[in-house]
Structure 1
């Protein structure tokens, strides 16, 4: 108890050390000094009282000692609350005492005591104040040194030059040591401690941050996870792992052994099953709950991370499959989940069947792909998604005839081969038959899910065709199924088209890689005919001189995932031209088309933002046209990034307005300031009243939202005059100018661009 009291009083307990608080250090040092001084003053006072000889000097010494003791007690009581004031008063008291001893003491010891008191002031000043204050006291003590030397000359010391010489150097050494050496050393030590404490705080904050980060990662691994040591003692578990043990507190599990909760069934004799990479186990509290324990080693700490995967449902399916299979060869030829023939077995059965065509006129093979399975897998998890596949296969088999051969190819693809008569050679009839056998809904627990499909169909009509060839044709047809037309039929033209698209896709990849796709510009004018801006259009010319339509190769680039790289190449080419125009003071903006896939790409968006930060003027010269027909334009990430670009000053236009996914919704979600009327609404003007009403309402809508309007596809003077009269801000089309290579506008030191646009 007494030891703890002294630790707290002198602020030297562990908690105060770890806090690194400079105020606590000052309080501790001050209390130690004051307590020590109080002991000396008290001893001096008691000694003076007991040795009072009746003289005034003895009585005055007792009074001075008692007064000093009272002052020290007062400073000790106020040391924490008024730390700086108390330390200042202590230094002042020592200074006054030292001066008084030197001035009035007639004994050499008293003088030296006063000198030592004054010499101690720089060190004390450094403890409580800055090094500059300590240095000030040190230089002030040169007066003390001079006074001490002066007094020493008049005191009866040992005579002789050597004695005086030795005494002088002794005083200089003491002066230097106490006034400069010790304060400097203390200052160095304090600075080192302060830096160490600051660094320690930074390291502590960093460790705390990383600890919180690892805690969050551990808690959100997505699977039940345990952390244990090499002996199998559980150190920590996340919430998903705790859910496996209902009604049990984490404190009960942490510190216990894994064997207390989980037992191995793959190797029951192994008490250290959790040291294996993968082990099949059950919960001791519920042996029907099967688990797979996957181990990961932490080499730095020697601990294990155990991931517990619930495989109860899959184990039941596996056991059922194993019970129904008679030989190992059957396991090779049948799907483990659905028990349907796999692709090899399915092809063998179909090939065996088509060798005998006398039972039917012809046959039809079709591949079924469940469209939204990835979404189901993400929303419900793998086990529930497998249940969807299982329920679908059972429903499909129950609706198919006995003569139909069905199988599971891979993933969410199923294949069927059925004999059909003349009636079903008509595609409409076969389409109706296929729809009738496909379940429209599947139940998962209490949820009923609507199932969408994509289907590719191929007819068996010629002797010598194989199941493998039919499957390949079904795959080709499947690639051309859409959300609007989910059932696609194979024909020779489709095969030829796919081969051409494949070759074109390879050529497009090379063209993007070698930057063969170039930018052309088409002017956008105001009602007076002056060029307000340009639209950048991409053009791809093959080696034979033919041009590929942008509608074709842009769509192909989007399907092949080449669109972000293509847009990156074109953007760099366009920004290079804009830099030259900016240097020439050509203030003509150029609109750049984005289909949405580019903005979803992190690399392309980072490139656009870095270009913006390096060129603050770019947002004034570059306009962004968003293709409203792109399906990804409704994605929240697109809206977030467009809002960021708008805040950087970019003008954003909605292109092809009225032809896309959710036109009115786009006006709310996208921070657009320009609306482009698609050419399909402009082309029938001025004779088509219905299209005229649509254009009028679109312009009125834009006006109500404070948006500018650009009409594209203008080919006649009548169309131009009509749109100007309706209040259209900007006009674009062949009537005003066809697209031309960007080099036409940049050659001869941008002569053409300067002529058509005022240079500021």
Structure 2
């Protein structure tokens, strides 16, 4: 309604006629009361003429004095076509009685437009007949504005709710009150009626994977969500056809229908779980034979030894190497060699007891753990294995005769741990191979190398104490342009009496003897000092330091790292700690707390040798990780090995889905560079870019800032 309409309508009047003689005082009081009302008020008689109004109506709506309105009809204040409409409405109200309420937009005399709610009612005369109409105009502009804002927010919420690819539901009073189309899709339900009014446990299996009843666990998850206002967890639901599927559930409190409810989001993680299972399968099983690999052997074997300890039982261990296999593989090709290995695995499965643990360690080496086997049983099983090699192996038209050399040990006499048992079995296997014995039981006399180990341990202890361990640094570069993105500090040990000692020799020795704590501290402090020196000369490479599982378990681990940074005046982001997947998962909860604290100080966290661990990858997302370093054992044979290529691609895809960067370790050829670049890997580390070098030798490269990468042609 515009200004002219408002000013001329029969809904507005001026007030104030003469009041009756005896009622003047009461009339003036009533007029003052009405004028005090901030909302416009007007009165009409039974002929629809204005008989009074307040100041707010006369001056605010019509721009007149109240006395100018009294006695006027709607035709005096409104155009004829509007006056007829208003008079008809008024007479209808007078005829029907009761109340008339409606809303419209009115332009005031100051030019503003407001949303107005009209409330009109019939009042009786002295005889009880309709005496006229009283009307009040309530300004509802702010209310309407809030309503419109609410409607817009609700429309936006509904738009997001309906369009989301994630399933979204509203959980009200323990049952679903609403859901979006994605929910129907994920559950394969035809309509909302199959979901609304049901509880979460009604569309879940009876038990969750952790063994808890779904109804009990759902109630607990809801309770936590209301307490914390937010809760995220993994859950297994059921589709309409009964198929279970895993999803990540996020619960957030919200206002719904005047009370607190839960905004529920389901993210179907079926594909992620499949990728994780595929990675675990590739990481823990030999893809050629389907047998457990070395990593899984160590995991299961250690548990097997622990059970044997509890029961007081022996465990027999075989370490087997195939005779003449290398010659056949080299002369006949890998196709025949792979076929022979598959047949060997099949025969071993047939002749060995079901209770045994059979694994392929790599190449033509196999290991067997037999619970309850003493030396006599172990020798009997070894003879059965050798007998299965008496028949020729055939692949197509090719036929070959293979033999085997087997080293035998038994727990606990020949070793207190699986690595020690395998090491001694390996010694016995070489004795069998050298002597053509078929199999050989380990004897301590075969272990002369133990003396060498003791001497090496003593020398390593002295080298650490004298800080004779040097650091070399290997650049990490961007696969696209060779830009240096960081350095990895690597421990190097030079002995005047024998030259450089391989890290593969002294690092495991440090871990076995407990020297690794001192070694890690020395490497950390030396790397921080070098980083400070570089920064003083305008160079700012981030330095990565390897942290052993034993050091990570120390209570003072975080304090040690922060102290090293503080001593050199370095910010946290100058350092990256690298821990292996197995080390991080050893005590996942405690390590998560420690690594999270380091990240809070800016220190980056990388998982080194990723893919070689044996823990569930579903825990990875709980760790405060920035980077995954793909183990070089998976990079070595790409792009030629499709299994390794698939594993690397899966790891890179998993990292990308979690917002993590990736580093391909051990890249040595242009073909490997092209492969990891094509798979979307971020950085690489390896001899193709640069070999580890001393800080002095690296300075020129660091100043240049990049390394030329040579692609394959």
TM-score by length of 1: 0.37
Larger relative contact order (CA 8 Å, sep ≥ 6): 2
TM-score by length of 2: 0.39
Structure with max Cα Rg? 1
